[in-house]
Amino acid sequence: MSSNINLIDSFQEFKEFKNIDRPTVITVLEEVFRSMIRKRFGTDENVDVIVNPDNGDLEIWRTRVVMEDGFSEDDDLEIELAEAHQYDPDLEVGDDYIEQITLESFGRRAILAARQTLVSKVLELEKDEVFKKYKDREGELVIGEVYQIWKKEILVLDEDGNELLLPKTEQIPADYFKKGDSIRAVVHKVDMMNSNPKIIISRTAPEFLQRLFELEVPEIFDGLITIKKIVREPGERAKVAVESYDDRIDPVGACVGMKGSRIHGIVRELRNENIDVINFTTNSSLYITRALSPARITSIKIDEENKTAAVYLKPDQVSLAIGRGGHNIKLAGKLTGYEIDVYRENDEVEEDVDIEEFSDEIDSWIIDELKRVGLDSAKSVLALSHEELVRRTDLEEDTIQEIVRILASEFE
């Protein structure tokens, strides 16, 4: 029975380590054995295969109809009376002759082939199980161990030894890992490549930040606070819009925690990424104002049709609104859905006028003189004092006064 034991031991090994459910295991084993039976007997219609997945016991029973001598047309389905009497003298024509088929009767070569088929099918099933498991977990947080580090990606193993890939493009720029380090990420994309599951994980996806908030903020996990939207420049800045359905809960305060206790852990995980948590609102003007935090806005003009917003700030607030590398205003635009333009509060909004436009009121030789010293627009002239204009040009002071009067009237 050694051949029998070898095949069943293979089954026990894969059943133990591959996490395949019992009904599936039985189905696979039956198919392997039935394939062996078809090769040997030509059919498995009259064969019962009984597998006990708990202890590895296997029984194969073959049933043939007893026929009168000389009348059997298919020896795989029928047996003649004389041959049947060799095994059971009490059998009569029309009875079923049932015999047990042992594994060793198939021969060593057939058993080795069956074992290889079993290994192959189990591996295929395992790959399918891993694919289904992670396909259903897209967007969920996973924890793994760094197994190997390459130039363009990191190989991570989960608790079951499944391979996960963290590409360089899905890593935070400041990420640094060594072999054996524990790593947290979200399942980003799951595909089947050449019959092998390819599981891509990410630390730059907005979902990663959302899962971290769910871990750190019980109110989010419980559904008392909802994250409406997250936008990120990984490793630099993130903006998170939150809303509470309970008036007694301050969503921003709950997310930040006492003295920043809740958000500090998230910031550390994201390699000191700046995180702005803001109250979500359907009021576009207020939403944009909050989104441009920490800058203080003076006024906003919104064009709803074109989804643009002109934001006016005091000069010292402009750099805050734009942020380092333009990240703040870029993320604010993504968060609110508006294209945001920033203006200093005291910026002139009137357009300048070319000096040639005043040719009907100012003599051409005077216009030529102004242009000779680089004064080719109305504002460039008005920006200088009378004394400076007289000094730069060969014009009389009375002429200069008249020119300034004409030009200034254009902007009144």
3-state secondary structure (DSSP) of residue 407: helix
Task: Give CA–CA dist 13/247, Å, rounded.
Answer: 57
Of 6-20, 72-86, 177-191, 246-260, the least confident: 6-20
Write down the domain spans for the chain: 7-106, 281-348, 355-410
Banded pLDDT at 11 (limits 50, 70, 90):
low
* CATH fold match for the domains 7-106 and 281-348: no
Banded pLDDT at 199 (limits 50, 70, 90):
very high
Q: How confident is the model over 241-271, as pLDDT tens digits?
A: 999 988 899 999 999 999 899 999 999 999 9
Top CATH class, 281-348: alpha beta
Instruction: Supply the mean pLDDT for the chain.
Output: 87
Reported pTM: 0.66
Task: Give CA–CA dist 209/202, Å, rounded.
Answer: 11
Task: Give CA–CA dist 283/300, Å, rounded.
Answer: 12
Of 372, 371, 362, residue with least CA distance to 399: 362
Q: What is the pLDDT of residue 152?
A: 94
One-letter identity of residue 304: E
CB 211 within 8 A of CB 141: yes
Residues whose CB is less than 8 angstroms from the CB of residue 331 and which lie 6 or more positions away in sequence, other chains included: 231, 232, 233, 237, 238, 239, 291, 323
**Do the bridges between strand 299-303 and strand 308-313 make them parallel or antiparallel, or are there none, so unpaired?**
antiparallel
Assess whether pLDDT exceeds 70 at residue 3. Answer: no
Assess whether pLDDT exceeds 80 at residue 153. Answer: yes
Task: Give CA–CA dist 338/378, Å, rounded.
Answer: 35
Of 248, 244, 266, residue with least CA distance to 256: 266
Chain centroid offset of residue 36 CA = 45
User: For the residues 108-131, what does the mean pLDDT come to?
Assistant: 84
Task: Give CA–CA dist 273/257, Å, rounded.
Answer: 17
Assess whether pLDDT exceeds 80 at residue 349. Answer: no
Question: Which two structure tokens, joined as six digits, stand for 297?
Answer: 């806005």
User: For the residues 104-108, what does the mean pLDDT come to?
Assistant: 82
CB 229 within 8 A of CB 241: yes
* Phi, then psi, of 205 in degrees rounded to 5: -65, 145
Banded pLDDT at 351 (limits 50, 70, 90):
low
Assess whether pLDDT exceeds 90 at residue 211. Answer: yes
Assess whether pLDDT exceeds 80 at residue 20. Answer: no
Tell me which residue has tokens 């947080």. Answer: 141
Top CATH class, 7-106: alpha beta
Residues whose CB is less than 8 angstroms from the CB of residue 90 and which lie 6 or more positions away in sequence, other chains included: none
